[in-house]
Amino acid sequence: MPERMARGLAPALVAAGLVLVILGWLPAPWGAAAALLAQPLLAVGLALRAQALAEIGHYHEAYGMLAALR
């Protein structure tokens, strides 16, 4: 059950990270704080999504997502 919840959270984490990336253009200090918070959200969201893709056999897409994290 926790794995299903984690996979369900992946799109939400990526979306929240992208919103924070956009908010990163705000003037300091708000933009800097948003940019710092965006990185871990995007990394966790993409890693969870890549794991879910690998579990169903979509290894090429999973590798592409993990390559984006570098």
The predicted structure's pLDDT at residue 1: 45
Sign of CA dihedral 25, 29, 35, 38: negative
The predicted structure's pLDDT at residue 4: 66
pTM for this predicted structure: 0.70
Q: What is the pLDDT of residues 2-46, one digit of tens each?
A: 566 666 777 888 888 888 888 888 888 888 888 888 888 888 888
| DSSP summary character for residue 58 | -
Q: Within 10 Å of residue 69's Cβ, how many Cβ atoms?
A: 11
As given in the structure block, the two tokens for residue 56 are 């169903």
